[in-house]
Amino acid sequence: MKKITFCFITIVLILTLGGIGLTQDLPSLTESSPAPSPAPPTPVTVPSSNLLPYSNPTHGFSFNYPSNWKQNTEVDGTGFLKTRFNLYEGGNMVALFSVFTNQVESSLSQWAITQEEIMMNPQEMPGYKKISEETISLGGLPAIKRLYTYNFVDSGSNS
């Protein structure tokens, strides 16, 4: 009887430890599948004399952006604010910085997952690849800072 009990306890222990080990390696919902990460972009220091201010008094944040970036702000009927800062070289957009403010029913993390699912659609953003993502605070509000690359396809306008 002691031998059967010992075998039973050993089997339960192996299954329990194996189950714990398996769950440790599962990716979270916001992580993409494991892939070699590209080298992070090298930051470029812009002289402060070449910076322009951007301020959002409604949400209490501001920052400076390079003067050679083009700003475009849109507000729709629901109050969704989208401000983009684009850098063009030779008529091609080579960098984009976006700020979105929106009232949503879902949590910030759920909204971010939904947005990333849209971005992963090759017809929306071909070649989408997330480089990094972190939760931050912007003007005292929760925010997500996501760095990614994709292949911009010009649909005939640069707006």
Does residue 20 lie within any of the structural domains?
no
Quick one: CA dihedral 124, 130, 131, 132, positive or negative? positive
Contact predicate 127/149, CB 8 Å: yes
Contact predicate 83/99, CB 8 Å: yes
Residue 4, pLDDT > 80, answer: no
**Mean per-residue pLDDT of the chain:** 71
Going by pLDDT thresholds of 50, 70 and 90, the confidence category of residue 144 is confident
Q: What strand order describes the sheet that includes 81-89?
A: 70-75, 81-89, 92-101
Does residue 128 lie within any of the structural domains?
yes
Domain span at residue 135? 51-149
Does residue 38 lie within any of the structural domains?
no
Does residue 67 lie within any of the structural domains?
yes
> Of residues 30 and 116, which shows the higher confidence score?
116
Q: Is the pTM of this model over 0.75?
A: no
Domain count, the chain: 1
In this prediction, residue 7 carries a pLDDT of 35
Per-residue pLDDT tens digits for 33-63: 555 666 666 665 656 678 999 888 877 788 8
